[in-house]
Structure 1
Amino acid sequence: MFAVTILGNNSALPTPERHPTAQVVTCNDQLVLIDCGEGTQVQLVKYKVRRSRIKHIVISHLHGDHYFGLIGLLNTLSMLGRTEPLFLYAPPELQQIIQLQLDCGASVLNYPFTFVPLLPENTGVIIREKDFEVSYFPTRHRIPCYGFAFNMQRRKRKLVPEQAVAYGIPAAFYSRLQEGEDYQQKDGSIVRNDWVTLPPAPGKRYVYCADTVYHEEIIPQIQNADLIYHETTYLHDQVIKATERFHSTSVQAATLAKMANVKRLLVGHFSSKYTELQPFLDECRPVFPNTDLAEEGVSYII
């Protein structure tokens, strides 16, 4: 299972219907939380996301709409008796902010907590798990800001049953063939794995582009991705304001998706000035047809 669930799709100011940025990426049995705007833990409960399965949290940058919900979530996990380790990846200043908040409340997290600073000189892979890895890369915003690329690996090889039968391999060994093992026959001869299996299907890629002004240097990071999330804070008639504030417009996000040959585009981080979101699709789809709104509570399969 590889999917992203939108918890918040708004920019700086929350509205009764839309919340600041937060997403959960499901990678089989693990969850990774991307950003943690105000109200994230309420959204986790509302959409029945199992907080105990969150092992990694990544924070793109230190504008409040991307992390003001974090200390509440960390404290809640402690009060719920969490014992599993939690890893937080964020700009280095956040470590001091969290510690100050805990110290002022005489609070202690009752689970192993590891902070990993995101530094511009160390971009690359930060999370390596059995089925997936996550890397980070810089975007262009008013303060240091990073996007995150999720690569989901399909490790099991594809069995060719008729070949396995022809070599007399018992069915009980098939799962080991899919893991890449060779088979030794009774006479000691070896049936090589690639004689009876095919390579695994290509992996899937999801890229979260975070807050950024339009810049084509990001294209190598999103090239050929199965799904990308790109901010569209403004409609395109506000392109000057978007540029001044280091944000992007609907048409700009769609243009990058087209140039990078991605398969699907999600747009979000909408300014609270907009009460209707359909105009974002109306502007994106003529440029890049396979565009959808990042709707809160919806899970998008990758």
Structure 2
Amino acid sequence: MPPASRTPGALAVYIGRFQPLHDAHLHTIQAALHRHAHLLVLTGSANLARSAHNPWTAPERARLIRAALRESGHDTRRLSVRPLPDEFDAGLWAAQVQAAVAATLDRLGPRPVVLTGFEKDASSGYLRWFPQWQADPVPAQTAGGTGLLNATDLRAALLGRGEVPPHVPPAVQAFLRDFLRTRTAARLSAEYHAIQAARAALSGTPTPRHERLDLHTDAHTVWLARRDGPIGRGLWALPATPLLPGDLPSQAAVFAHPARSPVWPTTAHAVRVTAPPPGTRPVPLDAALARPHAFFEDHHVILCRMLEAGRSRA
């Protein structure tokens, strides 16, 4: 992917989670709007429930991006913001990115496409996944000489210590001050501390762990459990059973994306079962499929994949 020069007519594409939007994100957005005709921002993890890792919804993040741009004096008419779901599969995720870009080009008209962003760690490796587009990387910003800005550290300040973090635009600071006074913030703070404690307890555990997920459905119903601990409290889930490496089921769909579990890398072995698993209750299948944000981790994605696989075998 060759580096891009200034491309006045181009569509720039910037992919991120923006959890939360910080000064380096805003700098990248401003640079892209300065160099190119239009910017498409794709807000990742848009299909996942609120969690300590993804505290804010795609619409909330879109509003903050626009508010931060407006207060810095930028015209937002050359900005599009679209949600980007997590697929926990690189090929399917890339196809979602390409579909979002194609939809934007359909609206704006044909033009070159440029991929922008800054490479800071493995999470930004996607910058090399689209060789058909030019690259326009932005140098990563530091936080007052203290190191690269990292949203993980900002969430730790907010959820771990109850502090509005520095190095975020004023509109984001105001939003986060209000957010800290909500029940959602209290719930996610409890989840954050529970995750840190669970990680500490598992510090000597071999990687990855394994779990079995049981799925029972009929034509109109799926049987789901409700999470009752601090991690994912109240969310729908497929019932999980820890597995030893020597006890892995042979007839299972395997889901091993390294980011699927917030606590520890965990490989899920999803199995169709013939009876409702203990601790589950019936949920109308259409209602479950329509509410991805009501599911723990990637369980909605797993449900959809298992149903697709069942249809393809029928």
TM-score of the aligned structures, taking structure 1 as reference length: 0.29
Bigger radius of gyration among the two: 1
Compare the two structures and name the one with the higher strand fraction. 1
Compare the two structures and name the one with the higher helix fraction. 2
